[in-house]
C-alpha cells in the first residue's frame, strides 16, 4: 500500500512497507481516503463530516481513526529519522 508518492527506490519502498505494516487497516483506510479526497489540502477539499459520511462512519469515529493513524505515521517517521541520524553519526 502506498503511503507517500515519492520516487519508489530502495529505502523509500522499505519505509512504505514498514508504515503499511505499522498502521492498522482501519486507520490506514481513513488516512488514505482523507489524502485521496483532499482532506489535508489547504484549503480542505472535504470536511471531516463529509469524509465520515463517505466512509460510512460517525464523525467521531473518523476523527479518532484519522488521529490514531497520523500519530502512528509521525512516530514511525520520527523513529526512522532518529535512527538515520544516529547511524550517520556512528559512521
Q: Which residues does the chain have with pLDDT short of 50?
A: 1-13, 15
Q: Look-up: residue for cell 523509500? A: 12
Q: SS3 of 51, please?
A: helix
57: region left, alpha or beta (phi > 0 left; psi from -120 to 50 alpha): beta
Q: What is the pLDDT of residue 17?
A: 57
Q: pLDDT exceeding 70 applies to what percent of the chain?
A: 65
- Separation CA 35–CA 54 (nearest Å): 13
Q: What is the pLDDT of residue 75?
A: 86
C-alpha cell at 67: 488521529
Q: What is the pLDDT of residue 78?
A: 84
Question: Helix (H) and strand (E) counts for the chain?
Answer: 4, 0
Amino acid at each position: 500500500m502506498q503511503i507517500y508518492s515519492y520516487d519508489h527506490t530502495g529505502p523509500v519502498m522499505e519505509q512504505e512497507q514498514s508504515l503499511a505494516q505499522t498502521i492498522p487497516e482501519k486507520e490506514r483506510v481513513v488516512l488514505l481516503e482523507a489524502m485521496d479526497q483532499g482532506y489535508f489540502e489547504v484549503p480542505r477539499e472535504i470536511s471531516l463530516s463529509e469524509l465520515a459520511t463517505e466512509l460510512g462512519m460517525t464523525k467521531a469515529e473518523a476523527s479518532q481513526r484519522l488521529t490514531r493513524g497520523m500519530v502512528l505515521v509521525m512516530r514511525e517517521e520520527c523513529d526512522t529519522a532518529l535512527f538515520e541520524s544516529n547511524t550517520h553519526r556512528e559512521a
